[in-house]
Structure 1
C-alpha cells in the first residue's frame, strides 16, 4: 500500500488550520520523508523568492537556460538520502502522494527526457540547497505540481536522482503568500507623529534597542553601541549618483541583529514599510544586483557593521538610507540587510543630528599649562563673540580668569594670542575679524587682569589653520577658537 510506504500528514490539517513550521532537521508537515531516509540538508525561509524550472535545463549554455517559474512565499527545501532503493520507486511514491492530495502537474521529465547527464545534473542543482546534486543525477526523475489553498497556491517539486546504491531527493515546497508588513514599529512619538498602540517591549529590549526603531520580531542582538555626539560617515548605495558619504554629527546608535528562517526580502520590505509610514524619505537604496559586485556589496555592508565586517551576511543584499527632519534635528537611518543560508544579518545605524555641546569641561590654569608644555599651544573655546563682532561676551569670564591665572603662576611665560574663524564668508574679512578678536582678548587681560602688555601679542589667521572640517556644524565650531601659543621671546 502506498499509504504504508509513504505516510502522509493530513493536507487539510497541515495547510488549512495550523501554521507550518520547518527547521533544518524536520520534514515539511505536508510530506513526510521516504521511510529510512535521512536529511542531509534542510531549510525554511519565511517569504523568499525562488525560481523553479518548468523545462529541461540546458547545462551546456553559460549561464544555464531553462523556462522559469518565479515564486514568492514561504520556502521549504530538503535534501534526503535513501539507500538500497531505486530512484523509480521513490519517485512513484512521491508522485502518488501528490496526486492523492490533488496537486496538478505543471511539468515532468523522466530518465532520458530530462536531457543529457550534464542537463540532468544542472536541473537537480536548481533545487539543491548546496547548489549541486554531485553524483546523484543518474536515472533522474523530475516533477513539479501545484494546488490552490485558502492561504494561496502551494507548489511542490522533486528531483530524484541516483548514484550506485544511493538515491537523493531534492524537495522544494513554496507556499505562496502576500507580503506581511507592519512587523516593525517606528516609535511614533519619537518620529513626531501621533502615538499608535505598540506592544510593550521588555526592559532589556528597551535598554538594548534604539528607542525609535525596535528590533524585528524574533531578532537577536549580535552587537550594539551608543555614542553621545559622534562624527559619522554613512555611504550611499553603489548605484547612487552621489559617491561621497554623508558626514554627520550627532547621537549615534549602531546595531547588528540576526534572525533565522526568514528572507532578506521580507525583512527589508518591513523596514521600508515602517519608515515610510513614519514619514521618512529614502535618499539612497539598492536591491540585490543593484548593490553591485560581491566585493562592492561587502564594502557597503562593512561600512555599517559595528565590527567593520559583515562576515557571511552579504548574500541577497538590500540597502536603504532614509532621512526625516524633526524639530530637534534631522534623523538618518542606514540599513544593510544580507543573508547567509537561512540566517539574516541586519546592520543598522541611526544618527540624530545635533551640534556639539560645549562648556562641560571647565578651563583651568593647570590644564592650559599642561597643553602648552605638551604641544606648545592651548586651544580655547570658552571665549564668546557675537557673529561678525569682536566684542567679548560676558559669559567668557571663567575662561579669561583661567588664562590670567596661568600667566600669574608662570611669570616668564610669553604668549601669542591667535584668533581663528571657520571658512564661512570672505577669507580676508575673516582674517581681519580674527585679529580684532585676538586684540580684544589681549586688551581685556591687560586692562582688567593687569597682565603686562609685552607678554601678549595678538595675531589673526582667519580660516587658514583649521582644526577640523568646514563641512559640518561641529567642524566649524572647532575652527572658531582662540589659541594660546608659547613665545620664546
Structure 2
C-alpha cells in the first residue's frame, strides 16, 4: 500500500529553483515504500513510487562520514561523522526529473520533523555537478552517468537514543534518475556480545583429550564467536610457531598451541564487532599490545598485510574495508595467551580473522622406543621409528638422554636373534642439504657403534645409512613437523 498525501501546489520550499509555470505540485510524502521497493525500503523514509532498488545495504551498527558542504576545486568537502544503524539504498526511477524527486524528499524531511543541515543543487554543489558527494554516498563509490541536474540533502533529527541523519544525492541521466540514500539512526552500542572464559586456561594442555577433525572446527573454548557469526574455516595445531605482525614494532615470534578461525557475519559493521571483542578481552584481564583502527597504521595496503598474515588463506580478499587490528595478551595458568584479530568488511558483511595461541615448549618425549612396539612396527610396515635418540644441533655425538632408547633397540635385537637392521638417519630440511645428508650418515653410524660397543650387538646385524632430508615423515614448515623429520629409523634387512 502506498500512502499519498497531497499538498497545495504553491507550497514554497524556499530551497530549489522554480519552473516557469510556478512551483512543482508535490505529489507525495515519502513515508511508505512503493511496490517495487517494499521489502527493503527504510521504515522511516520509504521509496518513491515506481522506484527500483538497485542496491541495498544495512549495518546493525557502524560509522559513516556524511558530506555537509559543497565540493571545492580540489574535490574535497566537509563531513559530519554519524554513528549508529547504517542503511543505504540506491534507487532508480524512470521518466522522472531530479527536481520532482528533490521536492518530494524535502517535503518528507519537513513532515518527519527533521531539520535541514545542508543542501545544494546543480553547480552550487561544486565542480562536476558535485559528483563527489554522490560518489561518497554510493555503494559503488561512483554514480557513473547519474550526476546531471543534481540535488543533495542532509537532514537531522534528535531522538532519545541518538541523532538520526539522512542524506540523499539525486542525479539524472536522460529521462531517468538515481537516488543515493544513506540513513544513520543513532543507537546505544551493545558491547557484551562476546564472552571470554579464562577458566579453561588453568587446565594443563597435556591433559587435553585429542579431538577429531569435526571438533577442531569448533570455537576456541576460551573465546566465543560473535552472535550469528558463521565459521568459514579453522585450524588447530598442537605446538606450532607463528609470527604475529606488530604495526610499527618488531613482530612477535610465538610458539605454542595454535587455533585460528575465520568467521563471517552479515549486516554488521567492523566497528561494532571490534568494540565487542575489545570489551570482552579487556573485561577478562587481557592487556593490549597493539591496536589499529581505520587510518591509524598506514594505508589500505599496510592494513591488508596485517590481515593476510592472520588469514588461513594468507589473503583476506575483499574483506579489507574499514579494518581493525588488535593483539592482546594474558598470563594465566603458567602460560602466556595471545589473541590477534583482523576485522574487515565487504559491503554490509564482516569477516573476522582470529588467532589464539597459548605459549608452550615442544614436548620431545611423546614417542617411546619400546622393544615390543618396535617389533610390531617392523612386522607391520618393515620399519620402526625412533624419536628417543638425541643429538645436539649439527653434531653426531649421542646424548646421554638416549640411553633408554638404545637399550630398547638392543633388547629388540636380543629377543630376535635372526633380525638384521638398517639403521637409517634422517634430518629436517633446515640448512644445506648436502651437509644434512652427511650428518644423517654420521648419526646413524654413531647409533650402530653404540649398540655394538655398549650392548654387544654383532656388527654383521647392523648397517648404517643416512638419507638427510630426502624422506620426511612430515612437513618442514612447522616446529612439530621438523621434530618428526629428525629421527632414526630401523629398517628390516632380509
Q: TM-score range by the shorter chain?
A: 0.7 to 0.9
For 1:115 and 1:42, the matched residues in 2 are separated by 27
- The partner residue of 1:131 within 137, 141, 144 is 141
For 1:221 and 1:457, the matched residues in 2 are separated by 52
- The partner residue of 1:189 within 194, 199, 207 is 199
Identify the residue that residue 242 of structure 1 maps to in structure 2: 250
Alignment of 1:100 onto 2:111 = yes
Q: CA deviation at 1:183?
A: 0.6
For 1:52 and 1:129, the matched residues in 2 are separated by 13
Q: After superposition, what is the alpha-carbon deviation per residue over 1:343-365, rounded to whole angstroms, capped at 9, x for unaligned?
A: 11111222333333612685615
Q: CA deviation at 1:214?
A: 1.9
Q: After superposition, what is the alpha-carbon deviation per residue over 1:113-168, rounded to whole angstroms, capped at 9, x for unaligned?
A: 2234x142112212112112222222222121211111111111112222221122
Alignment of 1:272 onto 2:278 = yes
Q: 2:337, 2:356 within 8 Å by CA — same for their partners in 1?
A: yes
**Structure-2-length-normalised TM-score:** 0.72
Q: 2:388, 2:402 within 8 Å by CA — same for their partners in 1?
A: no
For 2:175 and 2:287, the matched residues in 1 are separated by 59
Unaligned runs of 5+ in 1: 11-22, 194-203, 419-433, 459-466
Range 92-101 or range 301-310, more displaced: 301-310
For 2:386 and 2:215, the matched residues in 1 are separated by 42
**Structure-1-length-normalised TM-score:** 0.73
For 1:263 and 1:311, the matched residues in 2 are separated by 17
Local SS of the residue matching 1:208: coil
Q: 1:24, 1:41 within 8 Å by CA — same for their partners in 2?
A: no
Q: CA deviation at 1:94?
A: 1.1
CA change 1:456–1:185 in 2 (3 A) is: same
- The partner residue of 1:217 within 227, 232, 247 is 227
CA change 1:451–1:108 in 2 (3 A) is: same
CA change 1:474–1:259 in 2 (3 A) is: closer
Alignment of 1:168 onto 2:191 = no
For 1:273 and 1:165, the matched residues in 2 are separated by 51
Q: CA deviation at 1:34?
A: 0.9
Q: CA deviation at 1:444?
A: 7.4
CA change 1:146–1:399 in 2 (3 A) is: farther
Q: After superposition, what is the alpha-carbon deviation per residue over 1:240-295, rounded to whole angstroms, capped at 9, x for unaligned?
A: 3214x524232x32221111111112111211211111122333332223454444
Q: After superposition, what is the alpha-carbon deviation per residue over 1:74-132, rounded to whole angstroms, capped at 9, x for unaligned?
A: 1111111112222122111111111122111211112332234x142112212112112
Q: 2:129, 2:147 within 8 Å by CA — same for their partners in 1?
A: no
Q: After superposition, what is the alpha-carbon deviation per residue over 1:396-446, rounded to whole angstroms, capped at 9, x for unaligned?
A: 754553465688611xx687999xxxxxxxxxxxxxxx99xx79x966765
Alignment of 1:5 onto 2:31 = no
Identify the residue that residue 242 of structure 2 maps to in structure 1: 233
Local SS of the residue matching 1:288: coil
Local SS of the residue matching 2:143: coil
For 1:416 and 1:332, the matched residues in 2 are separated by 40
Give aligned pairs, total: 428
For 2:423 and 2:406, the matched residues in 1 are separated by 19
Range 330-339 or range 208-217, more displaced: 330-339
For 2:316 and 2:174, the matched residues in 1 are separated by 41
Q: CA deviation at 1:339?
A: 1.0
CA change 1:2–1:57 in 2 (3 A) is: farther
For 1:179 and 1:280, the matched residues in 2 are separated by 21
Unaligned runs of 5+ in 2: 8-26, 204-213, 392-397, 427-441, 465-472
For 2:459 and 2:369, the matched residues in 1 are separated by 29
Q: CA deviation at 1:370?
A: 11
Alignment of 1:358 onto 2:358 = no
For 2:234 and 2:291, the matched residues in 1 are separated by 23
Q: 2:451, 2:457 within 8 Å by CA — same for their partners in 1?
A: no
For 1:384 and 1:289, the matched residues in 2 are separated by 51
Identify the residue that residue 22 of structure 2 maps to in structure 1: none
Let me know the Cα RMSD of the aligned residues. 4.5
